[in-house]
Each structure stands twice: as C-alpha cells, then as structure tokens.
Structure 1
Amino acid sequence: MPNDDYDSPWKIALERYFPEFIAFYFPRIHARIDWQAGYEFLDKELQQVVRDADTGRRYVDKLVRVRLLAGGESWVCIHIEVQGDPEDEFTRRMFVYHYRLFDRYGQPLASLAVLADEQPDWRPEGFGYELLGCRMQLTFPVVKLLDMRDDLDQILESDNAFALVTAAHLLTKQTRQNPASRYTAKLRLIRILFQRGWERQRILDLFMVIDWLMHLPPELEKKLGDDILQIEEEHKMPYVSSIERIGIEKGRAQGLSQGQKQGQARMLQKLLAKRFGMLPSWAEQRILSAQPDQLEDWSLRVLDGKSVEDVLVVREEPAKYADD
C-alpha cells in the first residue's frame, strides 16, 4: 500500500469549505459567526507569529478572521489546529500560539482543535499552571474524530462536505493494511459523490480529497478508474474526465513534493536555530524559497558552517567553456 498523505487533503478541504468545517465540528460557533460578512485566512500573519515555536506534527494550522453576529463591526480571529498524532507538547503549543496571537492583535481570540489521531484516551483540552497565587489557564474546544467511527452511516447522510472528509479520513485509517477493503470504501464514497446532486466543482474538489487520502495500489487504482467511468454512464454525468484525473494525479504528486520540501525546510530551520540561535528574517525567507536540492546541500553544511551566512551561501557551478 502506498504511504498515506493526510496533510494536503485536509488543508485543501478546510480552505475551500471553511464554513462547513465550522458547521460540522463546531456548530455552536458556526451559529455565532456572521458568514455574510465573509472571512479571511491569515496564513502569513500566523507564520510570522509562530515560526520560532514551530514544533510538533499536525495536518493543518490556520488562523482565520471572522465577524460575529453580536460583535458589531469588529473582527475576531479563530486559530485552528487539526492534530494528526498524540503529542506531549500539543497543549503547550496551543497556549503559546494563543498568547502570541493575543499579543499581536490585542484582543481575545478562539483556539479550536480537531484530533485526528488513533488513540482513544488522548483528549487534551487545555494548558495551565499556578505559581504563588498566580493562575494561568487556557481551555479550548476539542473534537475527536475517533468518536465518530461507529456513526459513519449516519455521518454519510449529511450534505456537509466535512461529513465526507471525516468518513474518508476514518476509512483511510481503518483500511491501512487492507487494500481490498480500502478499494470498496473508496468506491462507496465516490458513488455518494455522484448521488448527492452537487455542482460539478464541488464534486471535483471532494473527489480530489478522497483520491488523495485513500491511496490504492496501481492495479486497484486502474480498476477504480473503470468503475468511475461506469458510474458516470449510469448517472449520465461525466464529472471526472480522464484528463481531469491526470490533472488530479499531477496535483497530488506536486502536493507530496511540496510537503517534502516543507519538511526539509522545517528541519533545516531547527538545525540552524539549535546551533546559531534565533534565525534572522532573511534566512527564513531564503530557506522557504529554496529548492529541495539546495535545502539538502545547506543541511549538510550545518555542522561545518561557522555562521548562518556561511551555511546559506549559494554556491554556483564553475563556468564551462566550449573548446575553440
């Protein structure tokens, strides 16, 4: 079975269907937001605030600005983490991000967590400490996907995009060692896509998320392609053409490559920070804009380099001249 990738599908689904994300996992919060006023992702702002506290493994880390129905003209921020694995430092990181964002924007914000791990007993809900009469406490709303695994049939009756994303995530986890079962589960979800009567772009978006999450061996992937053609004929709706499937596969490959590059960049940042201290902004930008081979070259120089500047210098190949 190919390695599963959870980060990219979650990121795509959340960015494209953020109101449904909130409605599915945090319905009470959804009811308090003025969705007609719109919303804005603050990815660059989040990275600026938390870049030197970047620890742990999570699928999605987002900061979104929304307006509340009862909040007049003022905007508020929501920080969201979709956490993939149990982690001892998770609650501390949520606390650090929260107070840094509070300090930056000078107003209260909400921190929300979706736990996408496989350990039933791991249920972090907050972080705090008390010393000499001084008490600090952060408690945040949490949704545990594992709690929904026995309700898949009921979940799949919902028209919410994240009902399908949640089912795909849980079924991907359940079928990790069973390609035949994954094929059956994936085909079921794709049939549901066609039965919903959704607009074409929504079907393509969620098809990409399902296809990205639920990797299959090549022979079953080919069989699935034939099945999709038959489903399209049954519904007389050619939603996913062969050209679009090629494009989706290309997009998935690019996403995997991008994820590997981000992993290389994070590791290099940590190595440099451990050796030379907090990195200057120019170094952060140079690392984030570098290609994988350049990142690999810089990582090899960390032990021998005398400074950040020495490590991140770009070495050019010597010029080659044709024979006269």
Structure 2
Amino acid sequence: MFVYNYRIYDRYRRPVASMAVLADEHAAWRPDNFSYSVLGSETAIRFPVAKLTDYHDKLDELEVSENAFALITAAHIPTRRTRKNDQARKDAKSRLVRLLYQRKWGKQRVIDLFTVLDWMMKLPEELEQQLWHEIEAIDEKEKMRYVTSVERIGIAKGLQKGLLKGRREGRQEGETRLLKKQPERRFGTLPVSGPRND
C-alpha cells in the first residue's frame, strides 16, 4: 500500500487516498497501516479497510443496492460459497445477471459488469450454455438485448486470449532469464557487446 501510494504521488504530484479491500476469509485480519523508523526518521501510512467477510450476512442488501461495487461484492460471496457446487454457482450467477437487467443501466456498464461476473463465476460448459439460454429468454422478455451473441463470443475470446497471452509472455520471460543466467553462472557477468563492423 505504501509503495503504490508513493509511486502514484511521485508520478502525478497529487494527494493520494489509499484503501484496502480484503477478500480473504480471516475475519480478524485487518491490516490498516504501515510504518518504519530509522535514525530518528519515521515514515507511515494509515488507510481504511473494507473487509468482504463483513458483508456475508448482508447479501440481500447488496443485491438490491444500485451501487455497482455492491453487485460485485454480491458476486464474490456466492462465488466463494459455491466452490464445489457448480449448480448452485450457476443459479447464483443467473440471479445476478437478472439483477443486472433490472437496474436499467447503460449497455456498456452492463457489459463491463457482466464480464466481471463471468470472470469471477466460472461454470462448466454445459451449465454456461444453460445460462446463455436463460439470458436469451430474458432478452426476449425485456426487449433489451445487452449482450449479443457476437459480444458474448468476443468476451469469451478476450478472456481466453488474455490468459493465453499472459501465460505465453510469462513462459518467454522465464526462458529468457534462464538462458541469460546459464552463461553467467559459468563465465560470470557477460560484457555488453557493441555492433559488429565485419
């Protein structure tokens, strides 16, 4: 928190407010400060903390809130509760998608929030297909097509492409580091060579 805070300040030279959102299950763990002192000099940061476990018994309130963050928190709670129950997760995801439609928010906001829900609440392919049939039925009933089939495919491909790109880049970076370290282990730090003139 301290590093992020000072780096943002260093870059933009504006006051920075830091806040921690803790998604772990340890209700008593609430770090809200960082400090150190050396040779009479002291540096410290204190920040507010939002603990998602505080909202586990407030799911009904979250689901009726107009706040987009409340909806994401409302997705986090059943996602953790349904780790080993795909059907329960699908039912929870379906309920949250219906809530998205009820909000009458703008199309882009709905798509953005849907993308987050889709990323958080992964389902097996069969249940995912069932959910999409339900969404299509809602579209017909509400006469409000938020996520077209083309956008749905794009969302899925975008998530897959991002994951594959991240894995590929991570693997390449690891291989590059390994290749660089092997000669250095044997011969020491390698000199930087300039362009050849031959």
Structure 2 length normalisation: TM-score? 0.82
Please name the residue that 2:25 is paired with. Answer: 118
2:63 is the alignment partner of 1:129: no
C-alpha distance after superposition, 1:252-306 (max 9, x if no partner): 11222244356x2xxxxxxxxxxxxxxxxxxxxxxxxxxx5x3343143144032
Structure 1 length normalisation: TM-score? 0.52
2:119 is the alignment partner of 1:241: no
Cα 1:223–1:139 change in 2 (3 A) is same
Cα 1:309–1:116 change in 2 (3 A) is farther
Partners of 2:8 and 2:105 in 1: CA distance: 37
Cα 1:124–1:234 change in 2 (3 A) is same
- What pairs up with 1:175-190 in 2 under 5 angstroms? 175-190=82-97
Name stretches of at least 5 consecutive residues in structure 2 with no aligned partner.
193-198
Partners of 2:162 and 2:19 in 1: CA distance: 25
2:174 is the alignment partner of 1:300: no
Partners of 1:129 and 1:256 in 2: CA distance: 38
Structure 2 residue aligned with 1:162, among 60, 69, 93? 69
Structure 2 residue aligned with 1:109, among 16, 31, 35? 16
Higher relative contact order (CA 8 A, sep 6+): 1
CA RMSD of aligned residues (A): 2.5
Q: Which has the higher strand share?
A: 1
Please name the residue that 2:122 is paired with. Answer: 215
Cα 1:301–1:204 change in 2 (3 A) is same
Q: Name the aligned partner's letter for residue 156 of structure 1.
A: E
Please name the residue that 1:142 is paired with. Answer: 49
How far did residue 102 of structure 1 move? 4.6
Q: Secondary structure at the match of 1:189?
A: helix
Cα 1:296–1:132 change in 2 (3 A) is closer
2:58 is the alignment partner of 1:151: yes
Q: Name the aligned partner's letter for residue 118 of structure 2.
A: D
C-alpha distance after superposition, 1:170-201 (max 9, x if no partner): 22122111111100100000011111112222
Partners of 2:2 and 2:68 in 1: CA distance: 29
Partners of 1:129 and 1:203 in 2: CA distance: 44
Q: Which has the higher helix share?
A: 2
Cα 1:144–1:233 change in 2 (3 A) is same
C-alpha distance after superposition, 1:107-164 (max 9, x if no partner): 6432222112222122111112345654432211211122112111101211121111
Cα 1:170–1:260 change in 2 (3 A) is farther
Partners of 1:159 and 1:309 in 2: CA distance: 60
Please name the residue that 1:272 is paired with. Answer: none
Partners of 1:238 and 1:167 in 2: CA distance: 23
Name stretches of at least 5 consecutive residues in structure 1 with no aligned partner.
1-93, 265-291, 311-324
C-alpha distance after superposition, 1:7-39 (max 9, x if no partner): xxxxxxxxxxxxxxxxxxxxxxxxxxxxxxxxx
Q: Secondary structure at the match of 1:109?
A: coil
Report how many residues are paired.
Answer: 188
Give aligned-pair identity as a percent: 49
2:138 is the alignment partner of 1:260: no
